[in-house]
Chains A and B, each alone.
Chain A
Amino acid sequence: MKNTKVRIAWDILRAYVLVLMILLLLLWMDFTKVPQFIYNQF
């Protein structure tokens, strides 16, 4: 019984961390591959 509860809690925690990581990654990752462009008057 105790083992089952621990397993469920572990599954919830894993899902929590995984989904949160994916959401934060989607929030801050930049997929646009925009070139850096340095100013040069010549």
Chain B
Amino acid sequence: MKKLYSFLIGAALAVVTFVIYLQWTDHRIAGRGDNNSIRYNTTVDKFASHDVIVDNMGKDTLLVLGSSEFQVGKSMKQHPQNMLDFKDMNLMMVGAGYYQSLWHAIALGSVGESIQNGKVVLFVSPQWFKTEGANPDAFLSRYSADHLLHFLQNEKIDKATKQGVIDRVKELVKGNPVIAKEISGYEAVYLKGENAFLRDTYYAWHTGLTAYKAKYRFYMKNKWSKKDNHDSYVAPAWEELRELAIRDGEQAVTTNPFYVNDGYYNKRLKSDIKKLKGYQKDYNYDESPEYGDLELFLQVAESMDLKVMFVGIPFNHFWTEYTELPVQTQQNYFARLAAVAEAHDVHYLDLQAHTKEPYWFRDTVHIGWKGWLDINEELVKFKNEEY
């Protein structure tokens, strides 16, 4: 009996220590940030955390969702991290390779109520719309329980939209029994209304702990500047910057006719360049589950009355001509994107005119020196309501 009492006393002390540990670390990380180094951080740890994103979005922060273009070429002077680094004009960048419409629909449902200026931008890449749609393994590696829980608990989003998202998520995670079971649990409690007691006890605790873990992981594993940014935005001379961007591009591209920077070309393309000729000739973006995912994204945005802007990333003509991506495929894709935007009253930034512009891209698909300048200018206009 004495042994049992000793064990219980020891266990109780351990629980008290554990709770104190949680509160102490939570206090240490609470309120950190509110600076641009976190807003422009592009790590999976940041994207996965509801609190890190919400705590660092001010009234002058434009939430931009996208994919690999945010990570590639961050050292370019024209990248928003370097060009829009102001206290009153900055971006909360969320996205990296394989972050697509469905992930962004969940994240938007999670953080959307905290967008103070009521606006969100989605960078839409044609590569998302391959026939097979989002890759299940890629989706799993980017899955955030923290965002999904906040999404499901967002009362502004209707049940049908939530069910549509959950059905699609279940389809993509079915290869992972642990996550599939976790999501079925969320569905039972938040959508089917089963077991209100469990929802208000275990799942309330689980939500808090999941948010804590995601936030802790970011703040403890990643570096960011402790300095707040005090500079105010002054509109630059865009045309002069375009001249400088061309010069930057000319220095970086000297070895190939595709206007792909030398580093990328030599490392990724040069050895396989003959094999890559014509490899996109059978590509087709006409039918893809991604279109349904994009609809879900827009339904989520509409349910919170958010003003949406699409940035339609164009094709690098110099590359697609070589890889023989059919022009019809490209035209069909953009026509469909424009139709979706029109149907949902989305401000659509059509960039197709730049497809043949040297130095607009920095590699085969990613935005380059001139491209970021054009987009930055439009982002500032969107944020300042100059449309």
Contacts and interface: CB of A to CB of B under 8 A. Distances in A.
B140 A35 contact: yes
B221 to A, nearest CB: 12
A27 B213 CA distance: 8
B10 A33 contact: no
B137 A37 contact: yes
A11 B14 contact: no
Interface SS majority for chain B: helix
A33 B9 contact: no
B18 A20 contact: yes
A27 B18 CA distance: 10
A6 to B, nearest CB: 12
Interface in A5-42: 8, 11-20, 23-24, 27-28, 31-37, 39, 41
Interface in B1-43: 2-3, 6-11, 13-15, 17-18
Interface in B341-387: 364-365
B170 to A, nearest CB: 15
B208 interface: no
Given A20-B17, A23-B15, A24-B18, A11 B3 contact: yes
Interface of B: 2-3, 6-11, 13-15, 17-18, 68, 96-98, 127, 135, 137-138, 140-143, 176, 178-179, 182, 209, 213, 364-365
Given A12-B9, A31-B178, A34-B143, 15 more contacts: A11-B7, A12-B6, A17-B10, A20-B17, A24-B18, A27-B209, A28-B213, A32-B182, A35-B140, A36-B141, A37-B142, A41-B68, A41-B97, A41-B364, A41-B365
